Amino acid sequence: MSSDALWRYVEALLRSGRPRPFRTRPQDTEVLRAAITLRAARPGSDVPREEFVSALHARLAREMAEGEPGARPVSERRPGSTRRRVVQGGALVAASAVGVVVGRSLDGGATGPTEQGGSASATLQPNRGEWRTVAAGADLPSGAVRGFATGAVSGFVSRDGARLRAVSGVCTHQGCALVLDRAARQLDCPCHNSAFAVTGEVLHHQLPIHLAALPRIAVREADGQVQVYVPPPSGVTPPPIQG
């Protein structure tokens, strides 16, 4: 599929929409995995949507109803037919529960290198990654912030004294690309007037929901080069980072 179609799919996913199915190429895998990770990191992402729950209840009610139109009287039904309905209904519920567990596993089951001086609990960790240079160490003095895009991940890297930090460049609300305000040392979301610190914490927002902090990205300095741990290039150009 084309790059435009891929990013339309990713945008729909990050906006909590229902992306249209498509046949992926091998190089699309890491982009989609990164989008799923970002979507799963939002608060409440492991809770089924209200409309899904309502639809499931309605379906179970239809399956279990004894007096549905056209149904045979209970006395005429084969022995085991009611039990089969119960089993089918239980299978539906079990399947939805498995979906929730799988979602949680995708979000928290990966392992990889940790960020300098920090915990890996909130750090994006691709299943298959590599260290990519995003800046020369000399070009990132203490107090500096730079944006980067590696092909599957975009973000910002900053230095505070001897400590390096890197965070996602995508808002945790609906996936809008963040813009660096150098004077204020903050990352602004142009979609809903939200702002994050360059270290990822939420500074302010006007949303009626909890806004999660930005996921961190593993970062290091090696041989005078600032590097981040990200999926390898997929051949797809990510949205530009402003800053």
- Domain ranges across the chain: 50-108, 123-230
- From the centroid of its chain, how far is CA 163? 26
In the three-class reduction of DSSP (H, G, I as helix; E, B as strand; rest coil), residue 129 is classed as: coil
**Distance of CA 56 to CAs 63, 82, 90, 211, 218, Å?**
10, 19, 11, 29, 40
Structure token pair of residue 222:
């090696």
Q: State both tokens at 18.
A: 């229902």
pLDDT for the residue numbered 155: 95
What CATH code would you report for 123-230?
Answer: 2.102.10.10
Global pTM reads 0.50
Determine the pLDDT at residue 107: 37
H/E stretch holding 115 reads none
Q: Both ends of the chain: CA-CA distance in Å? A: 30
Residue 106 has a pLDDT of: 34
Tens digit of pLDDT at every position of the chain (243 positions):
456 677 777 777 676 666 676 666 766 666 766 766 666 655 555 455 566 656 666 666 666 665 545 545 544 555 544 444 444 444 444 433 333 333 333 333 333 343 333 333 378 888 888 999 999 999 999 999 999 998 888 999 999 999 999 999 999 998 899 999 999 999 999 998 899 999 999 999 988 888 899 999 999 999 999 999 998 876 444 444 555
Task: Return left, alpha or beta for 200; rule: phi > 0 is left, psi -120 to 50 is alpha, else beta.
Answer: left
Q: What is the pLDDT of residue 124?
A: 83
224: Cβ contacts below 8 Å, ≥ 6 apart: 136, 137, 138
